[in-house]
Structure 1
Amino acid sequence: MDETQLGDSKVIVTNQTGIHEKLTEIVEKHLAHRSKKPYQQHTLEAFSIANERVKAHQGEVILDSCCGVGQSTRLLAKNNPNALVIGVDKSAHRIERNDEELIERTDTQGVNNYLLLRADLNDFYRLVAQEKWQVNQHYILYPNPWPKSKHIQRRWHGSAVFPEIISLGKRITLRSNWRLYLEEFLIAAKLTNRTGDICKVENSPALTPFEAKYQASGQTCWQLDIF
């Protein structure tokens, strides 16, 4: 990523002057032709564990994508005690980190209605859609954006699994310190007949370590809710 240092965090720098000129073309291509790449074995194994928990759960399911060290997953589980919260990240190091300080800081001792998994979300999303999970809320919280114009297809709305992403969740919530990223996602969502709103994240405790850093350095954080 191209980034410039600001305080304790970084400001995104992009060579785009607005919405990517090929956004609609890319999204429509992926909507018409679904990804068929082989699944990675570690993701199949992680999904199997999650699927058993989901099948056994009598209540709402919340998906927390790119959950990092699991701070957001734990907080969502604490705030939604009757839900099963599934946190997924590609990094085994982050997922397996058992940070007692983090747990104490978030006051999530004893919270156990969540599951943290290491998996490739490009595969995991397709498996969830295939199994037809009834996801009530889907969170994608920081940082994805890949701000260089040539990397548009690495952003979630430009990826081959966008059709699965947009199908998962009665409500989808994204947060970012790059508003253009959320504006593009909203345009992509509208191509599937979903709508949404973008607003500032204000008067709200940080859900993730990234959000805390952005807020501490004075950056504006944005939230997109897809309905």
Structure 2
Amino acid sequence: MKRQDYFPTRIGDQVVWLRNFKNKLPDHATALGLVPAAVTAILLDVDNAIYGLDDYRGSLGPASTSCYQCIEDAMYGDTVPGNVMWMGFTPPSGAPTAVPNGCLKRVFAYISDSIKTAPAYSTMVGEDLGTEGPEVAAPSPTVSPIFTLRSTSGGKAEVVWSKDTFDGVKLEFDLGTAGMKSDVDLRPNYTLNWLPDTGTSAVIRARLRFIYKGEDFGNWSDWQQWTLTGE
């Protein structure tokens, strides 16, 4: 048995997790020896993550591609310059003070580097904070990813897959006359940055294999195909 990653995969569950972490962290901060200013800063990161995943995301329509990208930048874009910006429309009221992009990555880093390394940290503390997930059975050695293909607003192919307890996936693409392409994705979902020449179409194929504990794991999925048209 192993412990599941502490951050849920479903957006609604992520918001619940973040709210619990926000409420419980001040209760444990002194015992864990955390620096008060650092706790204040990380709680502001949490507030931005909650707002982005709940208030802002909940106001979007399915076609708001650029808005979904700004959520991605706010949560994980630590290399994107500038502060969090809620673009595309007038955002819902109650937005917290903006922080630099990548707020959720900083929360994860703080948990790993400051909370879990504290001498007073324990499984009991982690279960209260939500930083220790439930124990789950090891995956089957013959498991293979289940995924779907869909088009992005720019006409590219997007691979939609679920992370579950795995580190990520290895992807292989058969681009026909353009050859083969392989890549690794550690966070769903993956966009293939390739299109055929303008005015032409190509049938591509894709397959996935899980990565678990840093190594290839299980079986390759069956190939799936998709038609792309150059723009």
Tell me the TM-score normalized by structure 1.
0.26
Which of 1 and 2 has greater Rg?
2
Tell me the TM-score normalized by structure 2.
0.26
More relative contact order in 1 or in 2 (CA 8 Å, sep 6+)? 1
Instruction: Decide which structure has greater helix share.
Output: 1
